Amino acid sequence: MRPFVAAILAIGAATEPWPGIARAEAGAPPWNIAGDWLCRDQCQRGLHGQPTHVVQNGAQFVFVNEAGNRMPAEWKFDYQISFVGCDDAAILSPDLMTLTFINGSVWVR
């Protein structure tokens, strides 16, 4: 391989994102978390272990908590999701199995 071509390939390899980490420029996260979840921690009184649900359309989400309340949200970057109209956010675990909310709630698959 020519030295110039090898140098270009090395630069390209060095600028790739870490595996599993998304970039906001992509427009939507590379993962899909739509489906059923369970509230594990900091659930509303008497609703521990009750089902929750996530609807995902690209970078837009609707979270339905254990009481049936709907919360619109949007993907920000990496594994962070911010809720529309409030200061709450959720962090998705890299294995896509746990959602940890800033308010202390935890949802699991």
What CATH code is carried by the domain that includes residue 28?
Answer: 2.40.128
| Number of domains the chain is built from | 1
> Which is nearest to 75 in space by CA: 19, 64, 63, 65?
63
Higher-confidence residue of 18 and 70: namely: 70
Does residue 4 surpass a pLDDT of 70?
Answer: no
**Confidence (pTM):** 0.74
Residue 1 lies in a domain: no
Is residue 42's pLDDT more than 60?
Answer: yes
Q: Is 50 helix (H, G, I), strand (E, B) or coil?
A: coil
Tens of pLDDT, residues 49-105: 999 999 999 999 999 999 999 999 999 999 999 999 888 899 999 999 999 999 999
Determine, yes or no, domain membership for 100.
yes
Name the band, by pLDDT with cuts 50, 70 and 90, for residue 109.
very high
Examine residue 78 and state whether it is found in any structural domain, yes or no: yes
C-alpha–C-alpha distance, residues 70 and 66, integer Å: 10
Per-residue pLDDT, averaged over 8-35, amounts to: 58
**Residue 6 maps to a domain:** no
The residue segments making up the domain with residue 51 are 22-108
Residue 14: inside a domain, yes or no? no
The answer to whether residue 40 sits within a structural domain is yes
User: What pLDDT does 26 receive?
Assistant: 57
